[in-house]
Amino acid sequence: EAQVTQNPRYLITVTGKKLTVTCSQNMNHEYMSWYRQDPGLGLRQIYYSMNVEVTDKGDVPEGYKVSRKEKRNFPLILESPSPNQTSLYFCASSLSWGSGNTIYFGEGSWLTVV
């Protein structure tokens, strides 16, 4: 079954404690990206990757890092989380960065920073 898997699904952490949200896809997709979703706002892109070792900033990259060492994995790293990073995070993937490809989303990761 085609899947984008995120972990953890729910996390409460304290300010400044580094955390990583993992994302894995089993569809051999080249394009992966991270979004955050906040009340009243559309999904906003944090980072995206067009292929292994190729990453780029989205609209709201501050405070986040990513890596793409393998095609299937695209972890999101919060080096020093702050309360304004409390949000619902989605990982997504598609076959390539071409405009006609379906985007598959993970189930989301609820992150609370206190």
Partner 1 sequence: KNQVEQSPQSLIILEGKNCTLQCNYTVSPFSNLRWYKQDTGRGPVSLTIMTFSENTKSNGRYTATLDADTKQSSLHITASQLSDSASYICVVIDNYGQNFVFGPGTRLSVLP
Give, as ranges, the residues between 42 and 81 that touch partner 1 (CB under 8 A).
42-45, 48
Residues 6+ positions from 63 with CB-CB distance below 8 Å: 78, 79, 80, 81, 82, 85
Per DSSP, the three-state class of 84 is helix
Give phi and psi for 87, each to the nearest 5.
-175, 175
Among 85, 90, 93, 111, binds partner 1 (CB under 8 A): 90
Task: Kindly calculate the radius of gyration of the chain based on its CA atoms and give it in whole angstroms.
Answer: 13
Q: How far is the CB of 102 from partner 1 (least distance, A)?
A: 5
Site for partner 1 contains 41 (CB under 8 A):
yes
Among the candidate windows 16-24, 39-47, 65-73, 79-87, which touches partner 1 by CB under 8 A? Answer: 39-47
Nearer to partner 1, 56 or 79 (CB): 56
Q: Quote the CA–CA distance of 69 and 71 in Å, as a whole number.
A: 7
| Residues forming the site for partner 1 (CB under 8 A) | 4, 33, 35, 40-45, 48, 88, 90, 92, 97-100, 102-103, 105-108, 110
